Structure 1
Amino acid sequence: MQLKRQAVALMAFLLLGSNVAVQAQEKKLELSVEKIMRDPKWIGTAPSNVFWSEDGKKIYFSWNPDGNREDSLYSVNAEGKNLQKVSPQERRSLPSPRGEYNRAETKKVYERNGDIFIYDIKSGKAQQVTNTVERESNPDFTFDEQEVVFMKDGNLFAWSISNGQTKQLTDFRKGRKPADEGKSAQREWLKEQQLALLQIVRDRKESQDAAELQQKKEAPNRPKEIYIEDKIVSSVDLGPDERFISYQLITRPKNAKVAIVPNFVTASGYTEDINTRTKVGDAQTTSEFFVYDTQRDSTYAITMKDVAGIDEQPAYLKSKKAGATEGEAKKQQMRATSIYGPVWSKDGKHAVVVARSEDNKDRWILELDPATGKLTVLDRQRDEAWINGPGIGYGTGDIGWMPDNKRVWFHSEENGYSHLYTVDVSSGQKKALTSGKFEVSDVRMSDSGKYFYFKANKVHPGEQHFYRMPVNGGELTQLTSMTGAHEVSLSPDEKNLAIRYSFSNKPWELYVMDNKKGAKPKQVTESLTDEFKSYNWREPEVISFKASDGADVYARIYQPKNPTPNGPAVVFVHGAGYLQNAHKWWSSYFREYMFHNFLADQGYTVLDIDYRGSAGYGRDVRTGIYQFMGGKDLSDHVDGAKMLVDKYKVDPKRIGIYGGSYGGFITLMAMFTEPDVFAAGAALRSVTDWAHYNHGYTSNILNTPQTDSLAYAKSSPIYYAEGLKGALLIAHGMVDTNVHFQDVVRLTQRLIELGKDNWELAVYPVENHGFTEPASWTDEYKRIYKLFEENLKEKK
């Protein structure tokens, strides 16, 4: 009898387990476009904006596990325990995560809501320095740490920590100096005549001069009046000895034409114009760099005229025009530059600036002598394509001083990848601290000055790990180990790491870990909803294939569970050009990632390529599109399509392509110039003519239309529209202030005039470049899916 009862109980348990399994199976998420493109909160909201408390006891971050309207501030202790929402009272008492520290890191100065505060880290108390209607910004300690300097109304001020007095250090004034207004030889002659002829004029002039002299004696510390005309003051910096103040003057072009984007859906009921930007090749903003010597009460410009390479023209231009005189040729050779900085050594004895040519072919690291204005070249980086890369960017870039105050560290792509270098300001000796076929980014030096910390993709181009390295170079210690990407925030005492980590099918979560090799990370947050977790999201395989020119191209592949020979395929093209998406962490293209899972469920093989021009692979890949967008970047997709046929047995007649922004541009080029490779394409928010895009991005890659018109003709889809054979969907937001709606309007007219009828245009009246409304995302991707279903699936 006992055995019978046990058998019945076991059967009941098995039946119950079977029912639970069936219910779980019934609850499994069935993907659809409508479900994927909902408000992203259905996935769960990842933690973001991670920062440590000033005493290193807590980690703060933004999070929204309850799916509220907005994120809230949460905290957890350094061991990853006591996770809780921060009270409004505690939140208000926290100093800003951004700010500047004194050398001992016992005090921090920061801006909040336009006022300046100074925070004592030991006591945890903040003192309000300013409380005004005007905004004060950019606070910092002076070199002797006796004052706090800040900007207000375009001028530099200093607040004394000891007595609370505030003094003005600069007096920048709009307009021209009154004595210079309307100055002419004829008017000067009349003034001199009056002084010579009339005693009353002489007497009054002497009285005025005496009064001004007395005023200066009574207020000897008033800063010099510096008239800036209609220019904009920027990057004001007080030198360590408080003698020199450097600054930039920005000049906006007066004759530049700004493009207008009409906004049709408005609260007023009227069409309203949005001023956006100029187009590539139009007049651009320029800058000048000055030093104000308070001791001599004079200002002077720092110029690049004697710097080696300043007159070296880009290879695509001739240095002289035929028939030009020597003087005219020299004038043509003087290139415009921008100077950034200075960056002062911690002992206050040396300053370096970074200069960049306007054509972005050159970057110089220069020592500045502020007393003489002399610039000494420490390093020159030259690229006939354009200067960029991790830690280099388009401004100052990542740069700092070594502990000996004699060497400067910086990034360079000299060996083909962005690596860390030092240069001695006395000897000019340069040394590479890192090397290899990987990139270094997000560099910071430890407070002790013993180590560098940084991210690098040394293990694999599609993985980002956190490393520690001795400050003078040597072995790289890999501190993180989980496959994927790590965004690391180091604790103030450098003993712990707060890590935002993700994998290709796992969105970002917060972890804590000891700052030791081999330490085990502990997960703090669990952000995903049950609905999202109910689907078995694919882990796309990161593969590589050989391009037709022998280059290695990386990609992600999504496959159906049971792929059939001669099935359909879709190639996705990421946007931005210089961006990486064939990696092993959670993609910023998360909607597209989910859509690719959906397509794979419907029998499609999906390929996502990091084409030429993408980030993460060094200089040659980055600049592989120079003077020809739609060249190697497109041929990489053609080679990828061939690989799909050869390796994954895809039907060569049933391959589609789609992407947004730069991805939309490549889609158009593919449909117009490779019509026998791609049967259907969806071009979203696409550039159709690069002569109509912005200057900062386009001029680096294609130069300017008036100097390199062939590059623009080769690279712009509108010139190739007659090649369209397959089915094309064009989708664009009507208030796109980045890639203007005008781009597709012009292409539409071109297609009409060519008599093409195998295309359609979907417009989104309230969307900018990046769509925000779930309804728009849903409509767009339903159209994309329909396009592929009708043109890539076998007709039944």
Structure 2
Amino acid sequence: MQLKQKAVALMALLLLGSAELQAQNKKLELSVEKIMRDPKWIGTSPSNVFWSEDGKKIYFYWNPEGNRQDSLYSVSADGKNIQKVSAQERRSLPSQRGEYNRAETKKVYEKNGDIFLYDIRSGKAQQVTNTVERESSPAFSHNEQKVIYTKDGNLFAWGIDNGQTVQLTDFKKGRKPADEAKDPQREWLKQQQLTLLQIVRDRKLDKDAAEKQQKLDAPHRPKEIYTEDKTVSNITLGPGERFITYQLITRPKNAKIALVPDFVTESGYTEDINTRTKVGDAQSKYEFFVYDTQRDSAYTVLMNDVAGITEQPVYLQQQKKASASPADAKPQKATPRETVIYGPYWSANGKHAVVVARSQDNKDRWIMKLDPATAKLTVLDRQRDEAWINGPGIGYGPGDMGWMPDNEHVWFHSEESGYSHLYTVNVNSGQKKALTSGKYEVSDVRLSDDEKYFYFTANKVHPGEKHFYRMPAGGGEMVQLTSLKGAHEVELSPDEKNLAIRYSYSNKPWELYVMDNKKGAKVKQVTHSLTDEFKSYDWRDPEVITFKAKDGANVNARLYRPENPTQNGPAVVFVHGAGYLQNAHRWWSSYFREYMFHNFLADQGYTVLDIDYRGSAGYGRDVRTGIYQFMGGKDLSDHVDGAKLLVDKYNVDPKRIGIYGGSYGGFITLMAMFTEPDVFAAGAALRSVTDWAHYNHGYTSNILNTPYTDSTAYAKSSPIYYAEGLKGALLICHGMVDTNVHFQDVVRLTQRLIELGKENWELAVYPVEDHGFTEPASWTDEYKRIYKLFEENLKDQK
């Protein structure tokens, strides 16, 4: 009997093990509900990777246990000994941000509003400040004997050896007090008193003598500089500590901030959220100054004589020419355009200073040598784009340019060739040299510590791949250090002997890897983040294809196909958002939910096309600016051409094509449904811009200029003007607390559709969602509606 019970128990265990094994081997069946769960069901990829200051550990945020939040983990440089970092160790770590001395033996940084000096060899931090007020922007003085930082809008210096703190500037809000001597009535009374009364004369002599002696005895104080109602920014101490540069910002008083009402609140009352101005509203004005401490004088650096400063954009010149009358033939005085000056960036020997300037109409960027003693600017490079200046690495901070070891050349990015490449320019002769060239883009540039090499990322192999390269500082052979197909985000170790890499592929989320800093070195995977459930599905590796647009341009796209496609089957075209973004690539997409949804659609018999339309990143200047003055032009025609490709090559029924996307993708969806109603039978527009005149200034003015200077561009580009063209089925989804694309956008469009008598549309609202949805319930509801839209309008309903 006992043996029989044991046999039964053993059989039960075998059956249970077999069932568990079958469950593990069973392929996940996708559904909207499963896809749109909390992303932790996938597994949490490592993020925010950085090295310890001594290079012995790699730190990263990770969540293998599926907790509510990620935790800090560490692993040794060889990829071994992964462990969660203790709270005590985490609190003791220096900030990732900060500045190093030239030997990289010390680091200064801000943490919790105070300044710290970290000795890398000993691993010990010294607290420089400990105050209630916030100290920020720490840096070493040029001679590295002091720590420079800002507090309450002023610049301070702390002596490393003596611990003495000195205030270097004395900026004061408001206007300088009026000088009574300038008032004639008061001056007359004063002189009368001095003339009539001896006691007044005697006391004045005593007072003047005391003030004179006090000035002789007192230490030097910085000049009082009154800023009125302007904001001080970017205060910088130059080498030799003679020149201090700073920026004054005048905020517009009449700018109108849009409010977004929040209906679901803790208080139970509707609460307004302050967001932003709308494009074309009054903008801040910027002035750049030099304070010469030797002369105790402050003066403005003016752009008035800089080449091209008065050159108006072509679109304004054309407008002026079109509306010109005989009275306009009289020469007009050219007005300098508004600009912003960034820097200065000093050479290591302290002899040269360079600044970067941007015109506020977005058409020009200048790199200029600055003589701080005279405030004279000498142009070293001018990049002008009649669309707008942008592109990888084309920024204005210290990481976007730098000095070469000879202290005579500056490196920087430019799209002069049509692609963002690396250049140098001689600050004395102005001679410029391209270090990289070709139909690819360079980004994330840095010089090696010995200044013999450049390290950077480039998509030279394919627009949809990112690899890490090393190249001699003077130009030459680009050595590709990474080899896996996909994308690599690389952090060099402090000694530059090892690479910490976040790597992913189209169907493989990001994981942490390590390798030696050598070509062909073995790559070792450190983290294994994916859940068994996620791995149980055979995620598609979408084809990255290229097709010709009607104007002859090459367009890249991702293609998802059913395992057994039917003749004249349905198709969906996905439109990525963000405008300047890339999604037809070979790495794990930030649109990972949409990627999974596309796998689900393919399982249901849909062919899915995901296009990098005109305006997308990764393909150079012409693609980037292809939407200038007309969003909904070439970017939309690329999708129409993509739909034609589906019909001509992939057996798709031309009457069964849908389109969807969010943000910019939602905008394109609306334009498609309103202006190409015979191409797309159904569309889902998510968090869509419906009228560009209501979007923000920074993004929109680049592409469409401003509504009052280029109203035609706004009318051509805004879906609300085309709503009458709607024929197919339209789903609109929008978060009610969207602080980016305001809910007002779809409210206005809704009213327009009502007034036009349109019936084949619906609006789904999400009361607690901002621009990027966060709640799984919202994602699920939204995508169930999208799937239902496609099923009802694209599938054969027999």
Question: Shorter-chain-normalised TM-score: which range?
Answer: over 0.9
Displacement of 1:269 after TM fit? 1.3
1:533–1:302: structure 2 CA closer, same or farther, 3 Å change rule? same
1:703–1:394: structure 2 CA closer, same or farther, 3 Å change rule? farther
Displacement of 1:520 after TM fit? 1.2
Displacement of 1:768 after TM fit? 0.7
> Which residue does the alignment assign to 1:433?
435
Q: Quick check: 2:663–2:688 contact (8 Å CA) kept in 1? A: yes
Q: Trace 1:423-462 onto structure 2 (pairs within 5 A).
A: 423-462=425-464
Displacement of 1:231 after TM fit? 1.1
Q: Deviations over 1:607-663 (max 9, x none)?
A: 000000000000000000000000000000000000001110101000000000000
1:535–1:170: structure 2 CA closer, same or farther, 3 Å change rule? same
User: Which amino acid in the other structure matches residue 143 of structure 1?
Assistant: H
Displacement of 1:272 after TM fit? 1.1
2:472 paired residue among 458, 470, 473: 470
CA distance in structure 2 between the partners assigned to 1:206 and 1:573 by the alignment: 81
Q: Trace 1:11-26 onto structure 2 (pairs within 5 A).
A: 23-24=22-23
User: Which amino acid in the other structure matches residue 388 of structure 2?
Assistant: W
1:618 paired residue among 617, 620, 631: 620
> Which residue does the alignment assign to 1:783?
785
> Which residue does the alignment assign to 2:5?
none
SS of alignment partner, residue 760 of structure 1 = strand
1:307–1:724: structure 2 CA closer, same or farther, 3 Å change rule? same
Structure 1 position 107 matched with structure 2 position 94: no
User: Which amino acid in the other structure matches residue 195 of structure 1?
Assistant: K
CA distance in structure 2 between the partners assigned to 1:605 and 1:711 by the alignment: 34
> Which residue does the alignment assign to 2:46?
47
CA distance in structure 2 between the partners assigned to 1:594 and 1:369 by the alignment: 56
Q: Deviations over 1:318-359 (max 9, x none)?
A: 26865677998325x321100000010011100000001110
Displacement of 1:53 after TM fit? 1.1
> Which residue does the alignment assign to 2:7?
none
1:528 paired residue among 499, 523, 530: 530
Q: Trace 1:151-550 onto structure 2 (pairs within 5 A).
A: 151-179=150-178, 188-199=183-194, 210-318=209-317, 322=325, 329-331=332-334, 333-393=335-395, 398-550=400-552
CA distance in structure 2 between the partners assigned to 1:611 and 1:501 by the alignment: 25
Q: Trace 1:126-137 onto structure 2 (pairs within 5 A).
A: 126-137=125-136
Provide the aligned length of Structure 1 versus Structure 2: 778
Q: Trace 1:48-127 onto structure 2 (pairs within 5 A).
A: 48-127=47-126
Q: Quick check: 2:365–2:384 contact (8 Å CA) kept in 1? A: yes
Q: What's the % identity of the aligned pairs? A: 82
User: Which amino acid in the other structure matches residue 279 of structure 1?
Assistant: K
CA distance in structure 2 between the partners assigned to 1:324 and 1:193 by the alignment: 53
User: Which amino acid in the other structure matches residue 360 of structure 1?
Assistant: N
1:795–1:196: structure 2 CA closer, same or farther, 3 Å change rule? same
Q: Quick check: 2:572–2:608 contact (8 Å CA) kept in 1? A: yes
Q: Deviations over 1:436-463 (max 9, x none)?
A: 0000000000000000000000000000
> Which residue does the alignment assign to 2:674?
672
User: Which amino acid in the other structure matches residue 241 of structure 1?
Assistant: G
> Which residue does the alignment assign to 2:698?
696
CA distance in structure 1 between the partners assigned to 2:249 and 2:121 by the alignment: 41
Displacement of 1:488 after TM fit? 0.2
Q: Quick check: 2:25–2:536 contact (8 Å CA) kept in 1? A: no
Q: Quick check: 2:391–2:621 contact (8 Å CA) kept in 1? A: yes
Q: Deviations over 1:645-686 (max 9, x none)?
A: 111010100000000000000000000000000000000000
SS of alignment partner, residue 642 of structure 1 = helix
After superposition, the CA RMSD in angstroms is 2.0
Q: Quick check: 1:245–1:293 contact (8 Å CA) kept in 2? A: yes
Q: Quick check: 1:253–1:285 contact (8 Å CA) kept in 2? A: yes
TM-score of the superposed pair, with normalisation by structure 2:
0.95
1:733–1:203: structure 2 CA closer, same or farther, 3 Å change rule? farther
Q: Which segments of 5 or more consecutive residues in structure 2 lack a partner in the other structure?
A: 1-10
CA distance in structure 2 between the partners assigned to 1:26 and 1:499 by the alignment: 31
> Which residue does the alignment assign to 2:689?
687
1:371–1:19: structure 2 CA closer, same or farther, 3 Å change rule? same
SS of alignment partner, residue 72 of structure 2 = strand
User: Which amino acid in the other structure matches residue 720 of structure 1?
Assistant: Y
Q: Quick check: 1:354–1:396 contact (8 Å CA) kept in 2? A: no
CA distance in structure 2 between the partners assigned to 1:515 and 1:611 by the alignment: 36
User: Which amino acid in the other structure matches residue 786 of structure 2?
Assistant: I
Q: Deviations over 1:491-548 (max 9, x none)?
A: 1111000000000111100000000000111000001111111111111110010000
CA distance in structure 2 between the partners assigned to 1:178 and 1:203 by the alignment: 27
Between 578-587 and 193-202, the greater mean CA deviation after superposition: 193-202
SS of alignment partner, residue 420 of structure 1 = strand
1:652 paired residue among 642, 654, 666: 654
Q: Quick check: 1:75–1:83 contact (8 Å CA) kept in 2? A: yes
Q: Quick check: 2:630–2:717 contact (8 Å CA) kept in 1? A: yes
1:113–1:412: structure 2 CA closer, same or farther, 3 Å change rule? same
SS of alignment partner, residue 239 of structure 2 = coil
TM-score of the superposed pair, with normalisation by structure 1:
0.95
Displacement of 1:213 after TM fit? 3.9
User: Which amino acid in the other structure matches residue 637 of structure 1?
Assistant: H
Q: Which segments of 5 or more consecutive residues in structure 1 lack a partner in the other structure?
A: 1-11
> Which residue does the alignment assign to 1:4?
none
Q: Quick check: 2:356–2:396 contact (8 Å CA) kept in 1? A: no
Q: Quick check: 1:340–1:396 contact (8 Å CA) kept in 2? A: no
Displacement of 1:104 after TM fit? 1.1
> Which residue does the alignment assign to 1:573?
575
> Which residue does the alignment assign to 1:587?
589
Q: Deviations over 1:743-793 (max 9, x none)?
A: 000000100010000000001111111111111111111100000000000
Displacement of 1:706 after TM fit? 0.6
Q: Quick check: 1:195–1:202 contact (8 Å CA) kept in 2? A: no
CA distance in structure 1 between the partners assigned to 2:396 and 2:690 by the alignment: 25
CA distance in structure 2 between the partners assigned to 1:621 and 1:206 by the alignment: 76
SS of alignment partner, residue 580 of structure 2 = coil
CA distance in structure 1 between the partners assigned to 2:465 and 2:487 by the alignment: 6
> Which residue does the alignment assign to 2:146?
147
CA distance in structure 2 between the partners assigned to 1:501 and 1:781 by the alignment: 29
SS of alignment partner, residue 767 of structure 1 = coil
Q: Quick check: 1:568–1:605 contact (8 Å CA) kept in 2? A: yes
1:17–1:585: structure 2 CA closer, same or farther, 3 Å change rule? farther
1:471–1:26: structure 2 CA closer, same or farther, 3 Å change rule? closer
CA distance in structure 2 between the partners assigned to 1:775 and 1:548 by the alignment: 41
CA distance in structure 2 between the partners assigned to 1:445 and 1:600 by the alignment: 46
Displacement of 1:214 after TM fit? 3.7
1:18–1:124: structure 2 CA closer, same or farther, 3 Å change rule? closer
1:596–1:676: structure 2 CA closer, same or farther, 3 Å change rule? same
Displacement of 1:208 after TM fit? 5.7
1:207–1:576: structure 2 CA closer, same or farther, 3 Å change rule? farther
Q: Quick check: 1:388–1:394 contact (8 Å CA) kept in 2? A: no
Displacement of 1:315 after TM fit? 0.2
1:326–1:213: structure 2 CA closer, same or farther, 3 Å change rule? farther
SS of alignment partner, residue 745 of structure 2 = helix
CA distance in structure 2 between the partners assigned to 1:768 and 1:205 by the alignment: 68
CA distance in structure 1 between the partners assigned to 2:753 and 2:231 by the alignment: 45
CA distance in structure 2 between the partners assigned to 1:552 and 1:251 by the alignment: 45
Q: Quick check: 1:443–1:455 contact (8 Å CA) kept in 2? A: yes
Q: Quick check: 2:24–2:532 contact (8 Å CA) kept in 1? A: no
Displacement of 1:212 after TM fit? 4.6
1:167–1:537: structure 2 CA closer, same or farther, 3 Å change rule? same
Q: Quick check: 1:279–1:695 contact (8 Å CA) kept in 2? A: yes
User: Which amino acid in the other structure matches residue 478 of structure 1?
Assistant: Q
User: Which amino acid in the other structure matches residue 198 of structure 1?
Assistant: Q
CA distance in structure 2 between the partners assigned to 1:113 and 1:555 by the alignment: 45
Structure 1 position 635 matched with structure 2 position 654: no
Between 85-94 and 96-105, the greater mean CA deviation after superposition: 85-94
Displacement of 1:70 after TM fit? 1.3
